[in-house]
Amino acid sequence: MKVGVVGLGYVGIVTAAVLADQGHQIMGVDTDKDKISRLQAGKSVIFEPGLDELISRNHQRFEFTSNYDGLGESEVIFICVSTPDRGGEINLDYVFSACESIKNVGSKATVVIKSTVIPGTARKVFGRTGIRVVSNPEFLREGSAIHDTVHPDRIVMGADEPQRLILLRNLWGFTKAPILETTNENAELIKYASNAFLATKISFINEIADLCEKIPGADVSVIAEGMGYDKRIAPEFLRAGLGFGGSCFPKDTRALITFAKENNTDIRIVESAVSVNSDRVKKAVDRIEAKFGSLKTKNICVLGLSFKNDTDDVRYSKSWELVEELNRRGGLVKAFDPTVKSAQGINVTVNPDRCIENSDFVIVATEWKEFNRLNLNTAGRVIDFRRILDKGKADMMVGVHDKN
């Protein structure tokens, strides 16, 4: 099929690469001309395991442009533009303007919204542009985006009439995942409810971690393991730590809360999940100072700057927030990250051993597995806020009583 992809961020470029690998012809459109030049030159625009290989293997199936005219012949067009936060609510301007531009090139394609959008967006798009869109939310995670797109747990697609879904059903059929066909509104809300539920799971285990820290002998990772064997609970998203960050959970939970209020209802459990998440970093630093004293003028090495492992994305990163909090308390902070080599206002060290040596504290802030292989013998106190170090390596761990 001739497939158009508008918006070449995480979701767009991964969708384009996976569909190209399935033999489809891709027209990728983005208003960022610099990004288009890099893609045309075969250069990568994000760090995502396996993505570069997929793009170079299928290079003859891609065209990249900042001009919507190229979409005239597409049979299916995916809208993957960002839907940023605007004071706690979602800003849909990029979605509307993409739909407007698609209409202006006289496209007859099935237009599909992959961007995360609040329920009612498909209806609004129809009201503004006359285009009846299909809603096909994306559930991929950064760091395992290709795997998640090729092997999703489910495909959700919503439309006002089932025949609008025929092309999409064919396009995603290769995944063999269960397909839920429903209304636009259901498809849109399934995405928010899923992200909010996962975020709530994280805040839940983080509060259990706080409790474990008060009880000698308790350990949150064992509690999570014991809970996770129950199929109704499942083991994923029960890793305690500094809380959830990234470009999705913080924004989507806030947008859901605002959307619920606009509809005269409160989702109190999600409000609590957000509130628990908001003071994670401050509480973590309080705990260090309570045990080891003031951090003023202490040399501190923070391991990890990205919002999680296997990505270079630092948006709403908890480790970044941690660095800022440590600086506020007078700490002398250096940071190391396997992918992030510079960060405004942060002293980033490219060599992890240099970062670690002679530091009073080493703090693991992002769950990069390779941190467990670093030599920590030259460091002072070691603090593991992500529970990735082997037993015995850390002087303080999230979810464990300090005297254990």
Q: Catalytic residue numbers?
A: 248
Query: Would you report the helix, strand and coil content of the chain in percent, each value rounded to 5?
Result: 45, 15, 40
Q: Is 117 in the site for ligand UGA (CB under 6 A)?
A: no
Q: Three-state DSSP class for 261?
A: helix
| Among residues 62, 68, 78, 249, the one that binds ligand UGA under rule CB under 6 A | 249
Q: Which is nearer to ligand UGA, 204 or 361 (CB)?
A: 204
Q: Which stretch binds ligand UGA (CB under 6 A): 55-63, 238-246, 323-331, 392-400?
A: 238-246
Contacts of ligand UGA in 362-401 (CB under 6 A): 367
- The beta-strand segments (E) located in 72-171 are 76-79, 85-86, 89-90, 110-113, 134-135, 155-158
Q: Is 198 in the site for ligand UGA (CB under 6 A)?
A: yes
Rg for the chain (alpha carbons), in Å? 23
Would you put residue 283 in left (φ > 0), alpha (ψ -120 to 50) or beta? alpha
Q: Which is nearer to ligand UGA, 46 or 105 (CB)?
A: 46
Task: Give the amino acid at 295.
Answer: L
Q: Is 134 in the site for ligand UGA (CB under 6 A)?
A: no
Instruction: State the minimum distance, in angstroms, from the CB of residue 270 to ligand UGA.
Output: 14
Q: What are phi and psi of 363, to 5 degrees?
A: -120, 120
Q: What are phi and psi of 308, to 5 degrees?
A: -160, 180
| Among residues 51, 202, 281, 394, the one that binds ligand UGA under rule CB under 6 A | 202
Q: Is 239 in the site for ligand UGA (CB under 6 A)?
A: yes
Q: Is 90 in the site for ligand UGA (CB under 6 A)?
A: no
Contacts of ligand UGA in 270-329 (CB under 6 A): 307-308
Instruction: For residue 336, list its beta bridge partners.
Output: 303
Q: Is 48 in the site for ligand UGA (CB under 6 A)?
A: no
Q: Is 246 in the site for ligand UGA (CB under 6 A)?
A: yes
Q: Is 96 in the site for ligand UGA (CB under 6 A)?
A: no
Angstrom distance (rounded) from CA 101 to CA 236: 40
Instruction: State the minimum distance, in angstroms, from the CB of residue 41 to ligand UGA.
Output: 27
**Interacting residues of 320 by C-beta distance below 8 A, sequence separation 6+:** 305, 307, 314, 343, 346
Q: Is 79 in the site for ligand UGA (CB under 6 A)?
A: no
Q: Three-state DSSP class for 156?
A: strand
Q: Which stretch binds ligand UGA (CB under 6 A): 152-160, 170-178, 246-254, 337-345?
A: 246-254
Instruction: State the minimum distance, in angstroms, from the CB of residue 11 to ligand UGA.
Output: 7
Residue 301 CB burial class (10 angstroms; 0-12, 13-18, ≥19): buried
Q: Which stretch binds ligand UGA (CB under 6 A): 38-46, 56-64, 239-247, 368-376?
A: 239-247
Contact 52, 67 (CB under 8 A): no
Angstrom distance (rounded) from CA 390 to CA 402: 17
- The beta-strand segments (E) located in 81-231 are 85-86, 89-90, 110-113, 134-135, 155-158, 179-182
Check residue 200 and report its DSSP letter. H
Q: Is 238 in the site for ligand UGA (CB under 6 A)?
A: yes
Rounded to 5°, angle at Cα 134 from 130 and 137: 135
Q: Which stretch binds ligand UGA (CB under 6 A): 1-9, 53-61, 123-131, 244-252?
A: 244-252
Q: Is 244 in the site for ligand UGA (CB under 6 A)?
A: yes
Instruction: State the minimum distance, in angstroms, from the CB of residue 13 to ligand UGA.
Output: 13
Instruction: State the minimum distance, in angstroms, from the CB of residue 301 to ligand UGA.
Output: 19
Check residue 62 and report its DSSP letter. E
| Among residues 157, 248, 389, 394, the one that binds ligand UGA under rule CB under 6 A | 248
Q: Which stretch binds ligand UGA (CB under 6 A): 37-45, 46-54, 241-249, 293-301?
A: 241-249
Instruction: State the minimum distance, in angstroms, from the CB of residue 209 to ligand UGA.
Output: 10
Contact 316, 247 (CB under 8 A): yes
Q: Which is nearer to ligand UGA, 250 or 352 (CB)?
A: 250
Q: Is 140 in the site for ligand UGA (CB under 6 A)?
A: yes
Q: Which stretch binds ligand UGA (CB under 6 A): 87-95, 140-148, 255-263, 333-341?
A: 140-148
CB atoms within 10 A of CB 162: 11
Summarize as ranges the residues that interact with ligand UGA (CB under 6 A): 116, 138-142, 195, 198, 202, 237-239, 241, 244-246, 248-249, 307-308, 367
